[in-house]
């Protein structure tokens, strides 16, 4: 797959949070509106019972990174004018590692990163976290983003899907997240 001089966005889902769920669905649409061609990474079957199990999380990460590297092996990232990675949860670790390993220099939108993601996350991009996220401690996410000067958008009472259980409130949250996502995509895309 050769994409010359084009804008490319790669979507990195989470475990159980596929590319058609709200955060990734709408961010893909925003990227497409800015002229990005979209590729959605497909992880295939992943281990179950990952939450709270460091060994299973590591195994899921390694398996996912391997599969993504295979899928993206034919992409000429150097031939793209802009590369954007949209990632969720485990996908944030995979996106950051993929970028670092391949020296892509991608822009990043990190939705609900897990603490382990910060082993690879750099200083480019923006991050979103809900204070009721039971996959990641708010204090850890805040501190890791602070260390990297990575803009972090906190949503009070939102869970790992950036939802609260109140449908109308969740729609307001989604709108706010997508406004910040669009702003980042526009600014990243306009850089010289």
3-state SS assignment for residue 141: helix
Average pLDDT, the chain: 93
As a whole number, mean pLDDT of residues 136-140 equals 96
pLDDT score of 3 more than 70: no
Which of 45-59, 72-86, 176-190 is predicted least confidently?
45-59
Q: What is the largest CA-CA distance in the chain?
A: 44
Which of 41-55, 81-95, 133-147, 155-169 is predicted least confidently?
41-55
**Higher local confidence (pLDDT), 5 or 172:** 172
d(CA 186, CA 59): 35
pLDDT digits (tens, 9 = 90+) for 60-104: 899 999 999 999 999 999 999 999 999 999 999 999 999 999 999
Output the pTM of the full model.
Answer: 0.94
As a whole number, mean pLDDT of residues 119-136 equals 96
As a whole number, mean pLDDT of residues 43-63 equals 84
Other Cβ atoms less than 10 A from the Cβ of 122: the count is 14
What angle, 0 to 180 degrees and rounded to 10, lies between the N-to-C axes of helices 54-72 and 90-102? Answer: 50
d(CA 121, CA 99): 9
Residues 7, 82 contacting (CB under 8 angstroms): yes
State percent of the chain over pLDDT 90. 85
Q: Is 63 exposed, middle or buried (0-12, 13-18, 19+ CB in 10 A)?
A: middle
Task: Give the CATH architecture of domain 7-190.
Answer: 3-Layer(aba) Sandwich (3.40)
- Position 73 scores a pLDDT of 94
- Position 4 scores a pLDDT of 43
d(CA 10, CA 106): 10
Residues 121, 148 contacting (CB under 8 angstroms): yes
85: tokens are 């990675």
pLDDT score of 168 more than 50: yes
As a whole number, mean pLDDT of residues 151-179 equals 98
């Amino acid at each position: 797959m050769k994409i010359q001089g084009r804008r490319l966005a790669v979507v990195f889902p989470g475990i159980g949070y596929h590319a058609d769920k709200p955060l990734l669905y709408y961010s893909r649409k925003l990227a497409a509106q800015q002229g990005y061609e979209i590729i959605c990474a497909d992880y295939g079957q992943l281990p179950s019972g990952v939450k709270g199990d460091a060994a299973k999380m590591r195994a899921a990460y390694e398996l996912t990174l391997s599969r993504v590297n295979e899928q993206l092996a034919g992409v000429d990232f150097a031939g793209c004018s802009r590369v954007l990675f949209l990632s969720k949860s485990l996908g944030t670790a995979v996106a950051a590692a993929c970028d670092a390993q391949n020296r892509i220099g991608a822009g990043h939108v990190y939705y609900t990163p897990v603490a382990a993601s910060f082993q690879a996350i750099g200083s480019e991009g923006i991050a979103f976290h809900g204070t009721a996220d039971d996959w990641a401690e708010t204090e850890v996410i805040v501190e890791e983003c602070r260390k990297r000067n990575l803009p972090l958008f906190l949503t009070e009472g939102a869970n790992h899907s950036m939802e609260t259980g109140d449908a109308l409130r969740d729609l307001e949250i989604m709108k706010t997240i997508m406004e910040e996502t669009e702003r980042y995509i526009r600014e990243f895309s306009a850089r010289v």
